[in-house]
Structure 1
Amino acid sequence: MSRYRRNAGATFSLKYHLVWCPKYRRPVLVPPCDTRLKEIIGEVAVESGMTVHTLEVMPDHVHLFVEADPTLAVAEIVNRFKGRSSRLMRQEFPALRSRLPTLWSRSYYAGSVGHVSAETVQAYIAAQKGV
């Protein structure tokens, strides 16, 4: 696998660490819900052209390390995962409907992950003036 991906107009390496929780941080992501959630996340990623590098479903939160095209904003990526999974999980597991008004809380954590540190990028940009 190449270090960079390409589309029609860009060469990129955009990877994100995403974390989100069920409403009220309830520990509802237990078997068989956790397995189904992993399947749904995989389906959404394939349909959207994203690559899931790592996925862990804990009883009260989800950790996802995903690579995406620059045409997708981080908020859109999270909304795709949370939206589809909430709808399908609540249809397939009625207990989730009775215990929670919605499956996911409105918030999430997103952190970008790169191959170089912020200091390296700053030094590179500063060095360009002298070129």
Structure 2
Amino acid sequence: MKLDSNNHSVFLMYYHLVLVVKYRRNVIDDTISAYAKDKFVSLSEKYNITLIEWSHDFNHIHILFKAQPNSELSKFINTYKSASSRLIKKEFPSVRKKLWKEMFWLRSFCLLTTGGFPIKVVKEYIENQGMK
């Protein structure tokens, strides 16, 4: 197992994030998912976060990512949700028909550490989401 490091620490920090669309509306397709993924990647660099795996279903997304000890996870997640919500609704006007106001995501989110499971198992789980 290869550990990550910086000037002051050695670490291995993987997280599984699940974001759900407001009212569980079925609005995510491949195009919106790809757009949201691009926004995640561009914003994550500033927070020392690296995307490992991404998958979506019609009303939620699963994200596996690595972070560093100095990554401000809740700040990053809330910044991402706010920015992506605004940009998705601007770029894809059809979403506004199913969602109103400015919110795209539920206020809450699910963030899990993956320490209890091998990364391979979590990665396969995320890859198989929405396949049923």
Q: What TM-score does the superposition give when structure 1 sets the normalisation length?
A: 0.77
TM-align CA RMSD: 2.1
Q: How does 1:1-131 map to 2 (within 5 A)?
A: 3-100=2-99, 101=101, 102-114=103-115
Residues 48-88 of structure 1 deviation map (CA, whole Å, 9 limit, x = unaligned): 32111111021110100011111123312321321221121
Residues 5-43 of structure 1 deviation map (CA, whole Å, 9 limit, x = unaligned): 222322111110000101001010114212211211221
Q: For the pair shown, which has the larger CA radius of gyration, 1 or 2?
A: 1
User: CA 1:60 to 1:6, structure 2 compared with 1: closer, same or farther past 3 Å?
Assistant: same
2:124 paired residue number: none
Q: How many residues align?
A: 116
Where in structure 1 are there 5+ consecutive unaligned residues?
Answer: 118-131
Shift of 1:110: 0.8
1:32 aligns to what SS in structure 2? helix
2:52 aligns to what SS in structure 1? strand
Identity of paired residues, percent?
Answer: 28
Q: What TM-score does the superposition give when structure 2 sets the normalisation length?
A: 0.76
Contact 2:49 2:65 in 1 (8 A): yes
Where in structure 2 are there 5+ consecutive unaligned residues?
Answer: 119-132
Runs of 4+ residues over 3 Å off in structure 1: none
1:89 alignment partner AA? I
